[in-house]
Amino acid sequence: MDKPLKRDTFELRFFPIAAFFGRKSELLDLLYRDPKTRKHNFEHWQFEENRIILFDADKSRVFSFSFQNCQYQCENPPTEGFARDQILKYAGTSLEFFDDKIETILRIGYRQTQVFPVDDFDKLSQLLAETFIKTDNALFKSLEAPIADVQLFPTVFKHGANRFQITLGPVKSEQLKALWGADASFPEQALFLDVDYYAVQPKGATDELRHYVVEFLGKASEILAKVNGGISDGILRV
């Protein structure tokens, strides 16, 4: 397997809105069919007690909206901006539909998970250790023992009013089954990279909610581009 696996996930959580229960059928019709062409945006839809779900047969795209959150997930998007455009289309439509009812945003997050196949697992582990672990301090010197293995490790960064967590490390196929959470054609060995960009109870988000989401996704895309560029140029190229 030469191509990396990629998954984009978006979620926005808000204070529960009772208006959802009386208007969910109307929202479903708005999301399922294009209002102008009447063509289907998704292959299937499903009602649950507290949620509507729209999805393709292979589950490569799933969008859901409930009384307390909306979510979008895309597997292996065809282009770099595909997931962002889809989020703006379906989440944007849903949020505008309930714009006067959504009063408080509890959390917003955009997450990208990737799996890059590698040929030399040991070399990857060594490179990650040399790049991210400082072993010349007193603690490591006192151990008098070289690093034998590198596991997945998360690091949280601040980006203005938002934060993002990067989790990366070398993995084998058995680990990927648990990390990816779905059946897939996994490589025997790979670099796992997960970037979760988020904000908790952002101030002023509901003043112009759609504009805020556009701005948030723009900042998330900026960070993702930097991380992906650094991984491609500094880790995978070696």
> Domain boundaries in the chain?
1-118+153-225
Predicted confidence band of residue 1 (pLDDT cuts 50, 70, 90): very low
How many angstroms separate the CA atoms of 170 and 148, rounded?
A: 13
Predicted pLDDT at 49: 86
Is residue 46 a contact partner of residue 52, using CB atoms and an 8 Å limit?
A: yes
3-class secondary structure, 161: coil
Reported as a single tens digit per residue, the pLDDT across 2-45 is 688 999 999 999 999 999 999 999 999 999 988 778 889 999 99
Would you state the structure tokens that stand for residue 5, as one six-digit string?
Answer: 């696996």
Task: Give residue for tokens 């151990």.
Answer: 143
Predicted confidence band of residue 185 (pLDDT cuts 50, 70, 90): confident
Predicted pLDDT at 234: 81
Q: What is the mean pLDDT of residues 129-137?
A: 75
How many angstroms separate the CA atoms of 42 and 67, rounded?
A: 21
Is residue 56 a contact partner of residue 46, using CB atoms and an 8 Å limit?
A: no
Q: What is the mean pLDDT of residues 176-203?
A: 89
How many angstroms separate the CA atoms of 31 and 42, rounded?
A: 9
Predicted pLDDT at 19: 94
- Exposure of 211 by Cβ count < 10 A (0-12 exposed, 13-18 middle, 19+ buried)? exposed
Q: Please tell me the pTM assigned to this model.
A: 0.90
Reported as a single tens digit per residue, the pLDDT across 144-184 is 666 666 777 889 999 999 999 999 999 998 888 888 876 77
The contacts of residue 102 (CB under 8 Å, 6+ apart) are: 14, 15, 17, 95, 206, 209
Higher-pLDDT residue of 183 and 1 is: 183
Strand order in the sheet with 69-75: 44-48, 51-55, 61-66, 69-75, 5-14, 105-117, 189-200, 162-172, 153-159
Mean pLDDT for the chain overall: 90
Predicted pLDDT at 88: 95
Predicted pLDDT at 145: 67
